[in-house]
Structure 1
Amino acid sequence: MTSITGIVITLNEEKRIGDCIDSLRSVCDEVIVVDSRSQDGTVAIAESKGATVLLQDYLGDGPQKAFGVPHASNDWILALDADERLDEDAIDAIRRLSLNDPSVAYSFRRRNFCGKHWIKAAGFYPDEVVRLYNRIHSGYLSKKAHSSVKSPKTEDTGAHIRHFTYDSLSHWIKRIDQLSTRDAWAMKEKGIPPSGLRPAMHALSAVIRKLVLKGGLLQGSDGLTVAMTTAFHAYMKYAKLNELYENEEAK
């Protein structure tokens, strides 16, 4: 089997990083953790699991995920988030791959969970993401929010990653607060101007997209939950963008 380096970025992930590293070890002979100076036991746990830990202040999603790549001993990179695990079919699929074409990157289908509940509605499944790629031809885009791997070619493995997205509905709302703040800063850095209409317009668009285009209207409470939380996220990130400009002007 071709050697693979696993890379994961962390910030205060002591409850999750151990299991994530164990999952990567099932197919990787090297694991690198890029830590944004955690204040909990993340670094100690990662080092106890044999991972190489690199300390780096958070650079944004894409740059942070790319930071560890030059330090890897292997060209093939398997990137997981701390709350992701390889399912057995993903482990089997990776072990069967010849990895003889460095221009191909491989995608997986995420099973997104809220607590123990697998949410399939309104686009939450199959949620296809590229996670295995060769650094010679592919890599994460420099986007500071919601980055993804750019590659010449992509193949779907049809295999799964478990994504323990939210511990509970309360955690879901807390994460929206955190992520919408990050998104607002990223949009401001890109020069996106404030707008009184944009928060409501994007929230309405999210509801239509999730309920109608993604079929959430016919998918029960899960469909409605996904639609409402997506709309809330959309509204808050643009409202927070406006707030950033207002605070700047007030100085």
Structure 2
Amino acid sequence: MTPITGIVITLNEQDRIGECIDSLRQVCDEVIVVDSLSQDSTVRVAESRGATVLHQAYLGDGPQKAFGVPSASNDWILALDADERLDEDAIRCIRELSLEDPSVAYSFRRRNFCGKHWIKAAGFYPDRVVRLYNRTTSGYLPKKAHSSVQAPRTEHTNAHIRHFTYDSLSHWIQRIDQLSTRDAWAMKERGVGPSPMRPALHALSATLRKLVLKGGILQGSDGFTVALTTAFHAYMKYAKLNELHEQAPPTEHDGS
């Protein structure tokens, strides 16, 4: 089997990182954890599982996921988030791949969970994500939010990654608060300006996309849950962007 390096980024993931590393060990001969200065036992747990830990203050999604790549011993990289696990079919699939063509990256179907409940509605499944790629031709885009792997060619597998996205509905709301703050910061860094109408417009667009285009209106309570939480996330990230601009110190251009 072609050697693969597993890479995970973490921030206060002591309850998740151990199982993530164990999952990667099924197909990787090396695991690197890029830790964003966690305050809990993430680093200790990762090292106890045999991972190499690199310490780096958070750079944004894409740059952080790319940070550990130069330290990898292998060209083939398998990137997981700390709350993701390889399903048995993904382990079998990766073991059977020849990995002869470095220009090909591989995507997997992601199963998203809220607690023990698998959510399939409104685009939450199959939720394809590229996770296996060769660093000589491919890599994460330098986007500070919602980055993805750019590769010359992508091959879609039917294998699965389990994504333990939220512990509960309450945790779902907490994550929206955290992620919308991160997204607002990333947008401001990119130079996106404030807008009084943008929060509502994006929330409305998200609702229509999930309920109508993704079929959530026909998928029961899960469909409405996905639509409403997506709309809430969209509204809050643009509202927080407006807040960041309001809190920014005035410049000479503002006449101050």
What TM-score do the two structures reach when normalised by structure 2? 0.97
Residue 236, structure 1, aligned to residue 236, structure 2? yes
Structure 1 residues 46-65: aligned runs within 5 Å: 46-65=46-65
Equivalent residue, structure 2, for 1:130: 130
CA–CA distance in structure 2, aligned partners of residues 48 and 189 of structure 1: 37
| CA shift digits 1:78-105 (9 cap, x unpaired) | 0000000000000000000000000000
Q: Secondary structure, in 3 states, of the residue corresponding to 1:163?
A: strand
CA–CA distance in structure 2, aligned partners of residues 150 and 195 of structure 1: 31
CA–CA distance in structure 1, aligned partners of residues 127 and 206 of structure 2: 17
Q: Which structure 1 residue ranges, 5 or more long, are not aligned?
A: none
Equivalent residue, structure 2, for 1:6: 6
Q: Secondary structure, in 3 states, of the residue corresponding to 1:209?
A: helix
Q: Which amino acid aligns with 2:196?
A: G
Q: Which structure 2 residue ranges, 5 or more long, are not aligned?
A: 252-256
Q: How many residues align?
A: 251
CA–CA distance in structure 1, aligned partners of residues 49 and 250 of structure 2: 48
Q: Which amino acid aligns with 1:44?
A: R
CA–CA distance in structure 2, aligned partners of residues 44 and 232 of structure 1: 36
Structure 1 residues 102-251: aligned runs within 5 Å: 102-249=102-249
CA–CA distance in structure 1, aligned partners of residues 25 and 40 of structure 2: 23
Structure 1 residues 25-64: aligned runs within 5 Å: 25-64=25-64
Equivalent residue, structure 1, for 2:254: none
| CA shift digits 1:3-50 (9 cap, x unpaired) | 000000000000000000000000000000000011110000100111
CA–CA distance in structure 1, aligned partners of residues 19 and 85 of structure 2: 8
Q: Which amino acid aligns with 1:192?
A: V
Give 1:248 shift: 1.1
CA–CA distance in structure 2, aligned partners of residues 248 and 31 of structure 1: 40
Give 1:188 shift: 0.4
| CA shift digits 1:135-175 (9 cap, x unpaired) | 00000000000000000000011100000000000000000
Residue 81, structure 1, aligned to residue 81, structure 2? yes
Q: Secondary structure, in 3 states, of the residue corresponding to 1:237?
A: helix
CA–CA distance in structure 1, aligned partners of residues 101 and 212 of structure 2: 40
Q: Which amino acid aligns with 1:8?
A: V
CA–CA distance in structure 1, aligned partners of residues 15 and 43 of structure 2: 12
RMSD: 0.8
Q: Which amino acid aligns with 2:21?
A: I
CA–CA distance in structure 2, aligned partners of residues 102 and 232 of structure 1: 40
Structure 1 stretches of 4+ moved >3 Å: none
